[in-house]
Every structure is written in C-alpha cells, then in structure tokens.
C-alpha cells in the first residue's frame, strides 16, 4: 500500500517528511519521493528514487531541499514499474503543482488520452499523473482546493491524495475517497498522512477523514469540507498507541490486521473488475487475446502452499462454470513431471509474491512447451508477472504476515472473476447467470464483516483447544481445499501437527486417528455434500473426537452433533471458501498467540521462498 506524508509549519519539512515515510515502511513499497515548495525560488523541488527510502535519503543528502511545506510518498506500484519516473510526487506541466496519491484510478487511460490531446505532457506510466494534470487544467483563478475537487469528481476508483502548489505556498490540500487519510494536528504545524504512525512522533492528536472529504491545511488551521464544498466539522482524536501498535492499526499482529482487511480488499477488487456501464468483467493487464482463450482446451494450475489451495478452489470453479478440464499440481512437482501440455493449454500460475522459485520454474517449463500463461499475483512487476503472457493483479496491498490470509481470499476472488470472464468469452454462461453469480460474490465482503464481528467468540473457542496435540481438518468439494488451508494456517504459526483431508477419505485411514485427544474441524456449510459431512461428523462423534464445526447460520441439525459451532452466513456453495476460511484463519491465529508463537514471523519460514 502506498504511503502519504504532508507537512506545513515553521520547521524545515524535509527531515520531518522522511521520518514520516520511514514510519510507513511497514506498508511495503518499491520507490519513494519528496516535494517541497522552495520559498526563495517560488518553485517546487522534487527528489525521487526507486528502492528503499535510504536511496532517497542519499539523494537529498547530495541535493537537499529546503522549505516548510511539502509532501512525500512511498509507492507500492500498481500501474507502471517501480522506476524513478513512476515514483511520486508527480507535477504538472508548469512544475507549479505536485501530487502524491494512494489508490487506483480505474479510468485513468481515457483521462490521460484527453489530457494529452489538450497538450498536457506526461512523464510516467502511472495512473496518478492524470490527477495533477486535471488539477492544472482547472486551477485558473480559483482556490487550489476547488481545482482539486473538480478534478476528483472526474475520477473513478479509490484514492487518497496530497497536493501543494507554488501559487498558494501556505496551503496543503488533502482528499480521501476509498483510501485512508488523516490529519495530524500540531502546534504551529499540521500534517497529512495515510496512517497514524507517520505523525505519531510529532503529535498524538489526529483527525480521520471520511469518504469524499477534502481538507485545506495551513500551519495553524485545518478546514474539512465535502466535494460539494459543504464544511464538515470534526473533533480530534487522541492516539494512545505507541508506534509499533500504530503500524498494525492497533491490532496486536500484522496477521490479525490483514485478516480484518479482507472485506475492504475484496470489495475494491470486485468493483475494479466490473465495468461500471456494461457490467462486463474486464482485466486490464490480461493480455492474452480473447480468441486464444476461446480455443483453450484445458487448464493447468500451478502454485505452492496457500496459493495452491486457492488453485484447487479455482479448479472446481473453472470446471463447473467454464466446462473446461482443469488440472492442478504443486509447482515443485509440476516442474519435473512429463507434462502433457502444449499450445492448447492455459497455465494459471498463482503466487502472492511472484518470486516463488518452484512456480517460476514451472512457468518457464510451460512456456517452453508453448502454453499461454496467466499469473494471479499481488506484487506488481515481480518476476512471475514479467514472464507471464497475462497478469491478474489481486491488489491486496503488501502482506506482511508470513501466513497468507488476505492474499488467499483475494486470489480466490480474482480466480472466480476470471472463471466468469472465461465463461463469458467462451459463451458457456449466460449474462443472466453471470450476473446472478456476481450478485452473490458482491455479498461476500459484507458476509465476511459479519463473521469478523464474532472474533471474540472464535478466540475463546480457539484458546479452549490450544492445548491439543494435533488437529484434523475435513472438508468436501470446494471446501476440501479449505480443509487444507485451515491445516496449513494452524501448523505454520502454532507448530501443532495439523492435516487437511477430503472428508470422504476418512474411512481410508485417518479415522484411525480419531480419539478424545484430537480436535477435528469439520467444514459443513449448506451444500450438495452436507449430508455426507454430517455422516462423517457422526463417525467422529462415535469415536469421541472433539468436533469443531463450521456451519451455515440457522443450521439446527449441526447443534445436535457438537456444541462447538462457528456459523457463516448462507451463500452459494461455490463461494463458501471465501467465508469458511475466516474462522480457520482466526482459530489458527488465536491458538498460536495462546501458545506464545511468533505469529507474524514463524520459525523456519520466509514470506517468499525464492530458492528451490
Ligand atoms: C502460506 O501461508 C505460506 N506463507 C506459504 O505456503 C505460501 O503460500 C507459499 O510459499 C507460496 O507463496 P507465493 O504465493 O508467494 O508463491
């Protein structure tokens, strides 16, 4: 996620802005930059550098900036690789306005074409740059904030921005629509930031902007209004967190913060992939011609770990919705198999980091055999995305916790959308059926929010079982991979032996494990295999297994079989993995915390396995 910091006051802004950027490093980024209004020259000085903030610090050490008003930014690339030119801040043609931006402008291409026609000169590949040229276009004899407001009304997407201009050097403007932005209220100075940690070293008094709000700051005042210009009055909030807590937005661990980010991330992901006017699904970076996708005879999914589990769900979805045979294998096996794949095969590579060695090797082998490759990835510009024919970014923001949570559900969502897109292209699903499915999918963020409201109860249930020596997770059909994912989450952060199994396989061996010393997590939402799951639960019950059931709200039958039930809202079966996984993530988290494990950085594990 990008980071924004702004300052207006009486002190030199450069060190303050750099300190603020460093406080936002945890959000992940791949370039950074700073812009100050130089009072002497009545100009804007800008310094930008790819890589870590240390590269920017080196730049400003050699070529320092001076001024008391400025903006700064850490960029998590979404459009355009992490280069100096694409780093923020971006400025207008005349170099009198500078902007930093967090979020995605979905309609930037059309705006950019129009602005170029009007003579504006673009210097980057970013969506952000259209903002500063739009402001320049409107900024004629009106206050900066009015020009900003006019520009923002043309944007579609989610964003938070900071703006400065030499025309009004004692003014700092900020605005929010879809991405967080706060005001830091100081004495004789004020701040703008994406998140609390950036200002905590300077003030603990903050104001949280809400959607569609714009703020004008000078060193002693701030004025908030909505985009229609109506003034909005807000009290300041005193922040009691320390820096470490603030980086996690008050959560104890990044993993818990990321679990709670899922509804918003999926909401943005779904909205950004459905055309506002036509309702059609589209993927900007998916560059494989639709005619080629129409001719695909089979699909092979390749991934590791959690991404592999997302791939199994995708296998079920693609076969059911697109009527295309779909195989899957873990990358480390795929890369060494005598694969029967070729130009008629579409390979889907799933990877949060885009740097997993086994998955990269698998993709290279697939390319060698003439396959088309689409990658489902979170990190823009990562190796996998550069070696794929098409990319679908999941825009989940940096995932700091080693145990993947928000990336998993974002991968699932992107894969469902791709299945609809492929079905749409192949003409095997009617628009009416696709719209019905999309209506269900759009309910997921709200349903996830409902589940997250049960966190306290899930934590109590988890802690009650945290002493057990092993866990078995059982699921069927699209929730067989949910069982695998639940087991992986638990084992990788609590180090408790945990196995995920297709419930129908119980009688072929695992049932020998059942006794009163083992917890069995049974994933049994309303589905075409529900009765089969009930039979499995009864088999476990008769052998005194400790049953924890994940079931659909309103299910009366399950209550007769176990007292330990976590309910999820009723949803179309195919989407249930998006809901089932939240209780599984939370259970793993609270068990690991109870056992005193290092939840965010578990032993022996890396966030990205870049070696074989
Ligand atoms: C999941 O919680 C683990 N961190 C791990 O299994 C991970 O999913 C796997 O290493 C794949 O990583 P990738 O998605 O970056 O390729």
Task: Give pLDDT tens digits for 177-208.
Answer: 878 899 999 999 999 999 888 998 899 999 98
Q: State which H helix or E strand residue 182 sits in.
A: strand 182-185
- The verdict on the CB of residue 102 being under 6 Å from ligand 1 is no
522 is catalytic: no
Ligand 1 atom having least distance to the Cα of 403:
2
| Closest CA relative to residue 479, chosen from 345, 324, 362, 317 | 317
Q: What is the pLDDT of residue 284?
A: 77
Burial of 480 (0-12, 13-18, 19+ CB in 10 A): buried
Give residue 524 CA to ligand 1 midpoint distance, Å: 26
Residue 3: count other Cβ atoms within 10 Å of its Cβ: 29
Q: Does the pLDDT of residue 573 top 90, yes or no?
A: yes
What letter would DSSP give residue 89? P
Active site residue 2: yes
> 299-319 pLDDT, tens per residue?
999 999 999 999 999 999 999
Cβ of 383 less than 6 Å from ligand 1: no
Count the neighbouring beta carbons within 10 Å of the beta carbon of residue 92: 22
Would you say residue 285 has pLDDT above 80? no
Q: Which atom of ligand 1 is nearest to the CA of 303?
A: 16
Percent of the chain at pLDDT > 70 equals 99
What confidence category does residue 277 fall into, taking pLDDT thresholds of 50, 70 and 90?
confident
- Name the burial class of residue 509, with classes exposed (0-12), middle (13-18) and buried (19+) by CB atoms within 10 angstroms of its CB: exposed
Residue 565: is the preceding peptide bond cis (ω within 30°)? no
Q: Check residue 263 and give its pLDDT.
A: 97
CA 83 to ligand 1 center in whole angstroms: 27
CA of 479 to the centre of ligand 1 (A): 19
Mutation test residue for ligand 1: of 28, 255, 304, 385, the one with most atoms within 8 Å of CB: 304
Phi and psi at residue 238, to the nearest 5°: -85, 125
Q: Indicate the SS3 state at residue 556.
A: coil
- Per-residue confidence (pLDDT) for residue 264, from 0 to 100: 93
Mean pLDDT of the 82-87 span: 90
Residue 416 backbone dihedrals phi, psi, to 5 degrees: -60, -45
Q: What is the pLDDT of residue 47?
A: 97
Whole-number pLDDT of residue 227: 85
Q: What is the pLDDT of residues 452-461, one digit of tens each?
A: 999 999 999 9
Alpha helix segments (H runs only) across 273-356: 290-294, 305-322, 331-334
Please tell me the distance from the alpha carbon of residue 610 to that of residue 205, in angstroms, as a whole number.
Answer: 42
Note the pLDDT of residue 373: 97
Q: What is the mean pLDDT of residues 138-144?
A: 97
| Ligand 1 closest atom vs CA 304 | 11
- CB of residue 14 inside a 6 A radius of ligand 1: no
Determine contact, residues 583/553, Cβ cutoff 8 Å: no
502 Cβ partners below 8 Å, 6+ apart?
A: 474, 475, 476, 480, 483
Q: What is the pLDDT of residues 459-488, one digit of tens each?
A: 999 999 999 999 999 999 999 999 999 999
304 lines ligand 1 (CB under 6 A): yes
Active-site residue (options: 2, 322, 377, 522): 2
Residue with tokens 């980057």: 124
pLDDT band at 139 (very low <50, low <70, confident <90, very high): very high
Picking from 34-48, 88-102, 237-251, 355-369, which range would have the lowest pLDDT averaged per residue? 237-251
pLDDT at 1: 65
Q: Using 50, 70 and 90 to split pLDDT, how confident is the model at 499?
A: very high
Q: Is the pLDDT of residue 611 over 90?
A: no
Q: Ligand 1 center to residue 496 CA distance, Å?
A: 18
**Range from 164-178, 245-259, 337-351 carrying the lowest mean pLDDT:** 245-259
Q: Residue 241: is its pLDDT beyond 80?
A: no
Q: What is the pLDDT of residue 53?
A: 93
**Cα separation of 281 and 274, whole Å?**
5
Going across the sheet that includes 69-75, the strands are 43-50, 31-38, 69-75, 3-8, 190-193, 182-185, 205-208, 237-238
From the CB of 357, is ligand 1 less than 6 Å away?
no
Determine the atom of ligand 1 nearest the C-alpha atom of 407.
14
């Amino acid at each position: 996620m990008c980071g924004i910091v702004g300052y207006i006051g009486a002190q030199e802004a450069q060190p303050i802005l750099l300190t603020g950027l460093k406080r936002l490093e945890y959000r992940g980024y791949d370039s950074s930059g700073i812009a100050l209004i130089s009072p002497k020259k009545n100009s804007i000085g800008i310094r930008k550098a790819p890589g870590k903030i240390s590269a920017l610090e080196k730049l400003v050490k050699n070529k320092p900036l001076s001024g008391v008003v400025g903006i700064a930014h850490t960029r998590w690339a979404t459009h355009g690789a992490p280069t100096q030119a694409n780093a923020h801040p971006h400025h207008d043609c005349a170099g009198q306005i500078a902007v930093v931006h967090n979020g995605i402008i979905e309609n930037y291409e059309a705006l950019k074409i129009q602005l170029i026609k009007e003579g504006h000169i673009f210097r980057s590949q970013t969506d952000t740059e259209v903002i500063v040229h739009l402001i320049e276009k409107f900024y004629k004899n009106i206050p900066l904030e009015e020009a900003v407001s006019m520009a923002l009304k043309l944007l579609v997407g989610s964003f938070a921005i900071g703006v400065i201009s030499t025309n009004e050097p004692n003014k700092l403007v900020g605005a929010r629509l879809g991405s967080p932005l706060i005001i830091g209220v100081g004495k004789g100075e004020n701040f703008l930031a994406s998140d609390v940690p950036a200002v905590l070293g300077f003030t603990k008094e903050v104001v949280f902007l809400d959607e569609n709000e714009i703020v004008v700051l000078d060193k002693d005042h701030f004025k908030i209004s909505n985009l229609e210009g109506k003034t909005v009055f807000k009290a300041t909030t005193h922040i009691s967190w320390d820096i470490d807590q603030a980086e996690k937005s008050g959560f104890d661990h990044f993993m818990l913060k990321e679990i709670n980010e899922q509804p918003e991330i999926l909401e943005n992901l779904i909205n950004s992939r459905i055309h506002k006017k036509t309702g059609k699904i589209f993927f900007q970076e998916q560059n494989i011609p639709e005619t080629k996708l129409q001719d695909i005879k089979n699909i092979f999914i390749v991934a590791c770990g959690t991404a592999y589990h997302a791939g199994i769900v995708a296998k079920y979805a693609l076969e059911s919705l697109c009527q295309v045979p779909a195989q899957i294998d873990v990358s480390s096996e795929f890369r060494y198999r005598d694969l029967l794949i070729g130009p008629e095969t579409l390979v889907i590579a799933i990877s949060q980091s885009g740097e997993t060695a086994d998955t990269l090797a698998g993709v290279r082998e697939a390319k060698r055999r003439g396959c088309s490759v689409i990658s489902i990835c979170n990190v823009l510009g990562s190796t996998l995305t550069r070696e794929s024919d098409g990319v679908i970014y999941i825009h989940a923001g940096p995932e700091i916790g080693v145990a993947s949570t928000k990336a998993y559900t974002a991968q699932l969502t992107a894969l469902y959308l791709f299945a609809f897109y492929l079905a749409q292209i192949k003409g095997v699903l009617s628009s009416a059926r696709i719209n019905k499915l999309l209506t269900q999918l759009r309910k997921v963020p709200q349903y996830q929010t409902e589940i997250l409201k049960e966190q306290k109860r899930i934590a109590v249930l988890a802690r009650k079982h945290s002493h057990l020596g092993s866990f078995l997770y059982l699921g069927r059909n699209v929730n067989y991979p949910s069982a695998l994912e639940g087991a992986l989450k638990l084992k990788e952060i609590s180090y408790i032996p945990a196995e995920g199994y297709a419930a129908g396989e119980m009688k072929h061996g695992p049932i020998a494990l059942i006794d009163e010393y083992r917890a069995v997590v049974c994933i049994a939402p309303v589905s075409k295999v529900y009765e089969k799951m009930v039979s499995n639960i009864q088999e476990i019950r008769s052998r005194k297994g400790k049953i924890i059931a994940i079931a659909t709200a309103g299910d009366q039958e399950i209550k007769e079989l176990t007292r330990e039930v976590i309910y999820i809202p009723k949803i179309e079966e195919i989407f249930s993995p998006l809901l089932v996984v939240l209780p599984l993530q939370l259970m793993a988290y609270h068990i690991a915390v109870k056992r005193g494990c290092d939840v965010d950085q578990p032993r022996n594990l890396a966030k990205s396995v870049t070696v074989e």
